[in-house]
Every structure is written in C-alpha cells, then in structure tokens.
Amino acid sequence: MKKTSTRLADGRELIYYDVRDDAVRDAVDRRPLERTVTTSEIRRDPLLGDRVAIASHRQGRTYHPPADECPLCPSAGERLSEIPDSAYDVVVFENRFPSLAGDSGRCEVVCFTSDHDTSFADLTEEQAGLVLDAWTDRTAELSHLDSVEQVFCFENRGAEIGVTLGHPHGQIYAYPFTTPRTALMLRSLAEHKVQTGGRNLFADVVDKELAEGTRVVLEGEHWVAFVPYAAHWPYEVHLYPKRRVPDLLALDDAARTEFPQVYLELLKRFDRIFGEGEPPTPYIAAWHQAPFGTLEEFDGVTRDDFALHLELFTVRRTSGKLKFLAGSESGMSVFINDVPPEAAAERLREVASK
C-alpha cells in the first residue's frame, strides 16, 4: 500500500491509498474554494448523559446530486470534484460539512472506489483489503489527536438509510468522548467480569453462538458472523475475529487476509435476502472499537477486554417494507423485531454464494 497526503483548495486534508507502490498523486485541486467554516458544538443531555452534536452548517450540504455532478467521482477535465486526480483506488478526506470538527472531533469521508456505479460488495478482495488498510491507518492517526477519544468507521448505503450521495463511500467519526452505545457495552462488560469471577462477556457471547450454531451465518478460520440472540433489526449480523482484539490495529495478518473474503460474502448475501429483482439492500455497517481514552469509570475493565467487531444491519424487513423506528424504539429505546433471529440466520445461510 502507498499512502499520499495532500491538501484541497480550502485546506482540508486528502489522502490517497494505492495498491501500487509506484502510483504518483500530484494533481492539484483547482476549485476556487474558501476555507471551510464550521459551527460544531457538543452539548450534554443532563437527563440521559448523552452528548449531542449541534452542527447547523450541515444544512447546506450536497443533497442527491445527479451522477454527472457527483463530488466523490474523480475530477475529469473541467468537471472538478473533491478528488483532484482522474482516477483513484481508495481516498480519504476531511468532510466539507462535518458533524464534528476542531475541539469537537473530526469527520472524514472514505471513498471505496472511483467507480460510481458499483458498491462495496462488487470490490475485489484486493480492493476490500485496501479499504481495511485505510480504516486501520486512519484509526491509528486519529487516535493520536488530543481531541479524539473514540474512532468509528462505518458505511451507510441506500436512500432508505438517509444517504445523500450515491457513490460507494463510508465515513469515519472521531469522537471527543466515549459514545453512549460503547459505554453501555463497557458497563455490561464490567458487570459480567464481576459476576463470573473474571470471565469476558464478548468471549462468552461468541463461544455461545458457536456452540449453539443456530444463528451462525458464516464461519471462517479467523472470523465468525452470526445473528445476535436479541437482534434489534430484521436482518442483523455481527462479525467477530475469533482472536479477540480491541481494535483494527491489533488484527494479525491472518485475520486481515481472510477479512475481505468473509465480508464480501456477507454483503453479497444481504443483497440476496429478498429475492431476485429486488433493489440493493440498504444497510449500515459499523465497526466497534475500544475507546482510546481512559476507562476508569468502568471498574476493572481495560482496552484489552473489549472486542473489535462489525455490526451489519438493514432497515428493510421484507420486500417493499421498511422497519421504522416508531414510538417504542424512538421514544423508549425498546426495539420490537418482526423477524426471529434464528429465521434471519437461516435465510442468510440459504442465500450463500454457490
């Protein structure tokens, strides 16, 4: 992998990740951009303890542009985009309309390929491996920023999810705090450790799924994917490396090599869930990594107790119907799932590649 860092016309950082070591990236951003001004602010909810990002500048962000005006495609002639070069493998750049900025963290965009009319599932194993390298490198770099406590790599796909740019891409949020969802996991981890005399909750969950087998979707030598026992979403899969590690940085070479095979197969199965002729399945793919800040508030828990994993889920519950977060889910955070996890796992095994 070759990494080349440059700057866009407004001063934002852009990084090319290339498969070939001899790739040359010297294109200059020719757009007449003024320096980006952001108004991101983190506020704490005194009742729930949650943090909320107030980012009014995002009201003006790019919204469903036509394909020939996509800001994530390479620049071509006088059609200038966020990527100055005429082609690329993987690109990461600072978001022009970030939810988090400055002392409030950082937001980056990850373009998986220069091909507008494709998706992550269409990447080759080499291309998917390069994306994994980019996620890992950005996690390492962002973790060193004073304002960053947790790094979150994720992909939203599909208009049903709220995606406003059709180009295959994801994002990285670098939070200045430990997110509420991760804090819940850490509290459960601490409680389980006390109640079981030191056992690891993540290890016990994975071991139970492997032993029962009914919810296991896909198993490799180094990774296992299963529908969780209490799945929140109609079709939801959690992907774990079998050797527990706290973050992407700690994956060994064997796990990194096998990941593209396993993950690409999972994404292909997601697109087959609802049968032939259905539009691509909308989904969210989210990496959960241990925070880089102190864990003192979670008694007896260290970073090494956390388990890196990816959660992949769709809001589509059946053909032509979406799972909306209504009163119970949005108002009280109590999910109601119409699809039994065992049935979801069975369906995901049925649509395996031949």
Does 342 score more than 80 pLDDT? yes
Residues 159 and 281 in one domain: no
Q: What is the pLDDT of residues 280-314, one digit of tens each?
A: 999 999 999 999 988 888 988 999 999 999 999 99
CATH number at residue 217: 3.30.428.10
Q: Are residues 17 and 133 in the same domain?
A: yes
Q: Quick one: tokens of 134?
A: 């980019």
27 and 167 share one domain = yes
Mean pLDDT, range 340-352, rounded to an integer = 98
> pLDDT value at position 273?
96
In whole angstroms, what separates CA 287 from the centre of its chain? 5
pLDDT for 277 equals: 85
pLDDT at 80: 96
Domain boundary among 175, 194, 215: 175
Residue 256 · residue 346 · CB < 8 Å: no
59 band by pLDDT with thresholds 50, 70 and 90: low
Calculate mean pLDDT across residues 53-74.
Answer: 80
Last residue of one domain, picked from the residues 175, 193, 208: 175
**What is the C-alpha to C-alpha distance for residues 105 and 86, in angstroms, rounded to an integer?**
30
Q: Does 155 share its domain with 261?
A: no
| Both tokens assigned to 3 | 């990494």
Residue that is last in its domain, among 140, 175, 210: 175
Are 36 and 141 part of one and the same domain? yes
What are the backbone angles phi and psi of residue 299, rounded to the nearest 5°? -50, 120
> DSSP labels for 95-154?
-SS-SS-GGG-EEEEEE--S-TT--GGGS-HHHHHHHHHHHHHHHHHHHTSTT-SEEEEE
Q: Are residues 194 and 128 in the same domain?
A: no
pLDDT, residue 276, reads: 86
67-96, pLDDT tens digit by residue? 789 999 999 999 999 999 999 999 999 999
Are residues 78 and 223 located together in one domain of the fold?
no
Q: Which residue has the higher pLDDT, 38 or 127?
A: 127
- Number of structural domains in the chain: 2
CA–CA gap between residue 2 and residue 18 (Å, rounded): 5
Pair 148, 195 in one domain: no
Residue 73 annotated as binding site: yes
**Whether residue 231 is found in the same domain as residue 167:** no
Q: Considering 169, 192, 222, 309, which one is annotated as catalytic? A: 169
Mean pLDDT, the chain, whole residue set: 94
169 and 188 assigned to the same domain = no
Check whether 144 is labelled as a binding-site residue.
no
Q: At what angle do helices 201-212 and 180-195 cross, to 10 degrees?
A: 80
To the query of whether residue 238 is one of the catalytic residues in this protein, the response is no
Range of the domain at 227: 180-350
Q: What is the pLDDT of residue 56?
A: 76
Q: Are 5 and 14 in contact (CB under 8 A)?
A: yes
Q: Is the predicted pLDDT of residue 64 greater than 70, yes or no?
A: no
State residue 37's pLDDT score: 74
- In terms of domains, do 13 and 133 share one? yes
Q: For residue 83, give every residue at least 6 positions away whose Cβ sits within 8 Å of its Cβ, in sequence order, or none.
A: 14, 72, 73, 74, 75, 91, 93, 111, 114
pLDDT at 61: 64
User: What is the C-alpha to C-alpha distance for residues 202 and 223, in angstroms, rounded to an integer?
Assistant: 14
If you write DSSP's letter for every residue of 17-70 in order, what string do you get? EESSTT--------S-PPPP----EEEE-TTT--EEEE-GGGGGS--S--GGG-
DSSP string, 240-261: EESS--SSGGG--HHHHHHHHH
Would the annotation count 167 as a binding residue? Answer: yes
Question: Cβ of 60: how many Cβ atoms within 10 Å?
Answer: 9
